[in-house]
Structure 1
Amino acid sequence: MADGGGTGERPELPDRGKPIGRRVVLSVLALGAVGVATGRSISDTLAKIAEHDPTGVLNVLPFGANFRYYSVTGSVPVADPATYRLGVTGLVDTERQYSLTDLAALPQTDIVADFQCVTGWRVPDVPWSGVRLSTILAASGVKAQAKALRFVSFDGTYTESLTLDQARDPDMIVALRMLNGPVTHDHGGPVRLYAAPMYGYKSIKWLSEIQVVDRVEPGYWEGFGYAIDGWVGASNGRNDAPTR
């Protein structure tokens, strides 16, 4: 990765890959096997637990594709849809503050794509809808010295980044809807990023600000060794992993 700032190029890969989580607890695996053998009751219970499992130990159990909910702060305030604003700031010709109504009035893009977590679980064929990042950037105008975007969550801690080239990929959207409804609070609503060709940690939840900056600023998980370029299938999402 040149200068630690990302290549900006989307790899052309026939298969986006599926990293395998390593945190396996044998007792939990045994319980999952019982669920398969005895019917749906235990498996359904495990699925509900897994939706709020921050450890990843339930990811390998055979109870179907389910979202797991993560927060790096423990709790996140719920945004009032009436007063929510998405800021576009930094190296732009015109800084903006978008309400939900403003965002809904912009051209909308629909995407059906997988959500792939770097810990190994995947939810296939998720319907998403929102505004392309390229549309938002064009509306504000990007100054010549701009090189990247920095995304800020209203959880007060989480940040992420994309190069300008990555941000202009047509599958990068500011999502207002997912799973055929508004983005819920647990899923990062009222507005989140969906970076379709990248691992889930790049799709920042509870989005509050898009800062246009002059260099890539590594996000929250990059500080713990995650790859700045989080293309699914290019690696297992770790900086120490070989690319293919």
Structure 2
Amino acid sequence: MDRDTPHPPDQETPEPPAAGSPIGRRVLLGTLGLGALGVVAAPTLQRGLEGFLGSVSGEDPTGLTGLLPNGGGFRYYSVTAGVPHVDQSNYRLSVSGLVDHPGTYTLADLRALPQTRIVHDVQCVTGWRVPKTPFEGVRLSTLLDAAGVHPSAGAVRFTCFDGAYTESLTLDQARRSDVLVALRMQDKPVSHDHGGPVRLYVAPMYFYKSAKWLSGISVTRDVRPGYWEERGYDVDAWVGRSNGRDDAPTS
């Protein structure tokens, strides 16, 4: 088959860990202040700020130097200096690994499948939250069922077309009804900055689990730590029950 996760701005990258735990908020807030300066400044200054951040982000694997403000309460994060733009003409999502029927989906293929809409709070591990954010797409379990998962499988690994970001879920987590391969966010197609045209959305976990720019789903035997887990963050990122946080939303 071949066919189109507040952005928190999308795929959020959490604060870089120090000694296995998140750094203080002072560093993050200082970075946000720099981004806010670019928003209120003249367009020329804004372009200069973005160019500066892009030029140094390749030397900073945390992605903080690539952080820019975005609308709707989201923040933009990227762990690379640049991400290719992919659209309906060239988007492909592969499903592979321990499956009977590996395959490739185009945007048209994904859009033709049953769609599920979820409205849920988006919670970043760094503290910001965007309440009642709608996401819509194909349940990940639908793609796994179509692929025919081997009995020996225990996890699912996700890769992204930024060339750097990875994530994983256990097979049980991946089969939850609130885990989507999302095509729409805030009732419109997922934008590039929000990880489009297709991103993962894992509603009950911190937003770094909702991988942006999704390009590959691979069924594996065991969980492989993702980009931020390799840098000290929890593999099981349940909101309010992980990463030393107790901030589950009350609504």
Q: TM-score, normalised by structure 1?
A: 0.74
> Aligned pair count?
204
Determine whether 1:200 maps to 2:207. yes
Could you say which residue in structure 2 is the equivalent of 1:188? 195
- Structure 1 residue 108 and structure 2 residue 103: aligned? no
Does residue 25 of structure 2 align to residue 21 of structure 1? yes
Which residues of structure 1 form unaligned runs of 5+?
A: 1-19, 33-41
The aligned counterpart of 2:136 is 129
Q: Which of 157, 161, 166 is residue 159 of structure 1 equivalent to?
A: 166
Alignment correspondent of 2:88: 81
Q: Secondary structure at the match of 1:125?
A: strand
Q: Which residue of 219, 227, 239 corresponds with 1:232?
A: 239
Aligned-partner SS, 2:77:
coil
Say if 1:197 and 1:232, in contact at 8 Å, map to a contact too: yes
Q: Given that residues 137 and 181 in structure 2 are in contact (C-alpha distance below 8 angstroms), is that contact kept between their aligned partners in structure 1?
A: yes
Q: Taking structure 1 as reference, are residues 243 and 144 closer, same or farther at Cα in structure 2, changes over 3 Å only?
A: farther
Amino acid at match of 1:142: V
Distance 2:162 2:187 in 1: 25
- Residues 131/145 of structure 1: CA separation in 2 closer, same or farther (3 Å cut): same
2:178 to 163, 171, 196: 171
| Alpha-carbon distance in 2 for matches of 1:115, 1:202 | 11
Question: Distance between the aligned counterparts of 1:85 and 1:168, measured in 2?
Answer: 22
CA distance in 2, matches of 1:101, 1:138: 19
CA contact (8 A) 2:64 2:77 kept: no
Q: 1:242 to 1:72 in 2, by over 3 A?
A: closer
Give the deviation of 1:77 after TM superposition.
0.3
One-letter amino acid of the structure 2 residue matched with residue 45 of structure 1:
V
**What does the per-residue CA deviation read over 1:219-238, in whole Å, with 9 as the maximum and x for residues that have no partner?**
00001100000110102x3x
Q: C-alpha deviations, 1:115-164, integer Å up to 9, x for none?
A: 11111111111111000011111111100110000000011111000000
Report which of the two structures shows the higher radius of gyration computed on alpha carbons. Answer: 1
**1:73·1:157 contact (CA, 8 Å) conserved in 2?**
yes
In the TM superposition, residue 45 of structure 1 has moved relative to its aligned partner by 3.3
Change (3 A) 1:242 1:205: closer
- Runs of 4+ deviating beyond 2 Å: 20-25, 52-56, 241-244
SS at match of 1:115: strand
- CA displacement, residues 68-111 of structure 1 (integer Å, 9 cap, x when unaligned): 11110121000131121100000001001001011011110000
Q: 2:230 aligns with which of 223, 238, 242?
A: 223
CA distance in 2, matches of 1:112, 1:242: 23
CA offset at residue 242 of structure 1?
7.8
Percent of aligned pairs sharing the same letter: 59
Matches within 5 A, 1:83-98: 83-98=90-105
- 1:22 Cα deviation from its structure 2 partner: 4.3
Q: Give the structure-2-normalised TM-score.
A: 0.72
Alpha-carbon distance between aligned partners in 1 of 2:95 and 2:168, rounded to the nearest angstrom: 14
1:6 corresponds to: none
